[in-house]
Structure 1
Amino acid sequence: MKIKSSIERIPGGMMIVPLLIGAIVNTLFPAASKTFGSFTGALLTGSLPILAVFYVCMGSTIDFKATPYILKKGGTLLITKVAIAMIVGLIAAQFIGEGMIESGLFAGLSVVAIVAAMNDTNGGLYMALMGQFGKKEDVGAYSIMSLESGPFLTMISLGVAGLAAFPWQTLVGAILPLVVGMILGNLDKEMREFLSKAVPVLVPFFAFALGAGLNLQNVWKAGLLGVLLGISVVVITGIALLFMDKLTGGNGVAGLSAASTAGNAAGVPAAVAAANAAYAPVVPTATALVASCVIVTAILVPIVTAWWAKRVGAVR
């Protein structure tokens, strides 16, 4: 059986197929990780440890001379993503205000849901896609983009800046494995060669673990509106990010890879409401919508990115 070649015929198959398998397993058997425990349970819930190893191995391939490029690329994608979320949020606020739409096709839609969905990139998905289709330096760009994580910038977009703590320890922890890998790879070429071989191998394992953290029922709960919002995130932020990526010398692959919604964004509406009670009534629907966006964008972004990478000749 030609399993590998069959999977690779699908755009981004080494990421999409394991991710979908993981999501299906978690949706049909949500207690599987606890039932089996041990190594099986660790694999189903182990996206962070696998990603940490991925960061170290990928970091080993990055030359210190690439630091200016990383700052430029990461800064461009960060500013673009946040700016688009702010602009769309400000426009939506003119029609929705602090509440939500009460009836019709868009019933339940709120500014909080829109901004939270657009504001935060799925870092694991971005780095995995960059490891497969982008430059090794593009992976390091997420060390800058990680500044968008959490409710802080969403609150700024909503006009309640300063009400959230900004944990620098978490940011340092997010980039430390990458930095360790960079140091090892730059100090010893043999370590770079040794660690770099693991990068493509880790992609399907990380993708499966990421998928095992998704529940496809969230798409059902949010209904058509959740799917439409997820598609809007990919289209609106994707076009802007692709344009800015190309404007700064890229080929657009990194931009499209960042057009997703992070898993932790689903917790942003509740965090925002904790800081400003005016948003409390929209939390349940906003949370469902953002959770739907996480799943929809996790499926669409690899497909779109793989298609674009093939078009621009970035497929390795």
Structure 2
Amino acid sequence: MQIAIKRGLDRIPGGMMVVPLAIGAAFATLVPQTASFFGSFTGALFHGALPILAVFYVCMGSTIALGALPRVARRGGVLLATKIALGIGAGLMLGHVLGEQPVTSGWFAGLSTLAVVAAINDTNGGLYMALMNQFGRPEEAGAYAVMTLESGPFLTMVTLGVAGLSAFPWQTLVGAVLPLLAGIVIGNFDREMRSFLGVAAPTLIPFFAFALGTTLDLHRVWSAGLLGVALGLAVVAVSGVALIVTDRLSGGNGTAGIAAASTAGNAAAVPALIAAANPVYKAAAAPATILVASCVIVTSLLVPILTARWARFVQRKIPVDPT
């Protein structure tokens, strides 16, 4: 008897990240002593998010081909710079009001500068490339080779530092990007290693998602989930408009811009990584993880619809050659 588990997860936006995250959170809420009761490898899996993520970034870095960067640097660089600028802007505004700590009461309970910056900084690359393959041009799909540099906690650390919040020592900043850089080096020196490591990256997602979920308390999910929906809508609206404008200014028609207005599934791992690097963000990390996970779902649902409609809109505006 076969059960189509993977097919079912693939039908859910961000399913490989969101479902294991929810299962881990259920364990943390209903049977929180599971890890200590079993110990050994089981307990290690419950607490193993950081080492699994380190391996994940090595594998993902191996897929970045340096030879492809010059051809797509202009298009991808513009989108990357826009996302970074939006993250810094959000960090400056919210950092002035909230600082490093989350809101503790009311409808906005759990909202933090960390959550907003993490949600904005990282684009859902799989979704972007799928949409560009359908509605865009090859160089637009390839632009994600540059945008992959968003991945991981490095840019979020830099953004928080630029926003005037608690900064990170240079060793921590370098350590955050070393696994990704190591993967880039290995993958570009040996194509066989690129193939070997690259296919492993998606496999690791449900494992670190589960480990992250075991740090969450589902009693807070309902309120955070509603706020997460609002955050997802805000990310699409604000970053979508900015990315459409900059994409058009760089020679595109805006389709690549709206396709990049999403939140990557692995962005939900960033708050925990930030808190591990600087304990001042520890209180914000757990609610931020839930908010960003909600944001992943919302943007994954909205961005394909908006991209398709925008592509049809700009296509109708292209004049037909009478010859």
- TM exceeding 0.5: yes
Deviation at 1:266, TM superposition (A): 7.6
Aligned to 1:210: 212
User: What is the rounded CA distance, in whole Å, between the counterparts of 1:87 and 1:8 in structure 2?
Assistant: 36
How far, CA to CA, are the matches of 1:6 and 1:45 in structure 2?
Answer: 26
Q: Which residue of 2 aligns with 1:36?
A: 38
Other structure's SS at 1:257 match: coil
Whether the 8 Å contact between 1:76 and 1:244 is mirrored in structure 2 is yes
Shift of 1:218: 3.2
Q: 2:321 maps to what in 1? A: none
Q: Amino acid of the residue matched to residue 148 of structure 1?
A: T
Conservation of the 8 A alpha-carbon contact between 1:241 and 1:258: no
Note if contact 1:77-1:258 (Cα within 8 Å) is conserved in structure 2. Answer: no
- Is 1:292 the counterpart of 2:287? The answer is yes
Of 235, 238, 244, the residue aligned with 2:236 is 238
Select the residue among 285, 293, 302 that pairs with 2:297. Answer: 302
CA shift at 1:179, angstroms? 0.7
Instruction: Give ranges in structure 2 of 5+ residues lacking alignment.
Output: 130-143, 309-323
CA contact (8 A) 2:232 2:296 kept: yes
Q: What's the CA shift for 1:178?
A: 0.8
3-state DSSP class of the match of 1:166? coil
Counterpart of 2:86 in structure 1: which amino acid? T
**Aligned AA (1:210):** L
Cα 1:42–1:66 change in 2 (3 A) is farther
Q: 1:151 to 1:82 in 2, by over 3 A?
A: closer
Would you say 1:142 and 2:142 are equivalent positions? Answer: no
Partner-residue secondary structure (3-state), 2:64: coil
CA–CA distance in structure 2, aligned partners of residues 238 and 168 of structure 1: 32
Question: Once superposed, what is the RMSD of the aligned Cα atoms?
Answer: 4.1
The letter for the 1-side match of 2:271 is G
Give percent identity, aligned residues only.
37
The aligned runs of 1:222-233 (5 Å cut-off) are 224=223, 226-233=224-231
State the alpha-carbon separation in 1 of the partners of residues 60 and 207 from structure 2.
Answer: 15
Q: Quote the Cα distance in structure 1 between the aligned partners of 2:286 and 2:158.
A: 14
1:76 maps onto 2:82 in alignment: yes
Q: Take 1:17 and 1:235, find their aligned partners in 2: how far apart are those partners?
A: 21
**Shift of the alpha carbon at 1:299?**
2.9
TM-score (norm 2): 0.67
CA contact under 8 A between 1:22 and 1:211: conserved in structure 2?
yes
Which amino acid is the alignment partner of residue 55 of structure 2? Answer: V
Partners of 2:120 and 2:56 lie apart in 1 by 15
Change (3 A) 1:24 1:137: farther
CA shift, 1:114, in A, is 4.9
Q: Flag the 1:311–1:175 CA change in 2: closer, same or farther, 3 A.
A: same
Q: SS at the partner of 1:255?
A: coil
TM-score (norm 1): 0.69
2:116 aligned partner: 118
The secondary structure found in structure 1 opposite 2:262 is: helix
Q: CA deviation at 1:56?
A: 1.0
- C-alpha displacement of 1:245: 3.6
Q: Distance in 2 between matches of 1:187 and 1:81?
A: 33
CA positional deviation for 1:203: 1.8
5+ long unaligned stretches in structure 1: 273-282
Amino acid in structure 1 at the alignment position of 2:154? S
User: Partners in 2 of 1:176 and 1:61 — Cα distance?
Assistant: 15
User: Partners in 2 of 1:196 and 1:26 — Cα distance?
Assistant: 31
Q: How does 1:273-292 map to 2 (within 5 A)?
A: 287=283, 291-292=286-287
Deviations 1:15-53 (A, max 9, x none): 221111111111112222222121111211111111111
**Conserved? CA contact 1:114–1:229, under 8 Å:** no
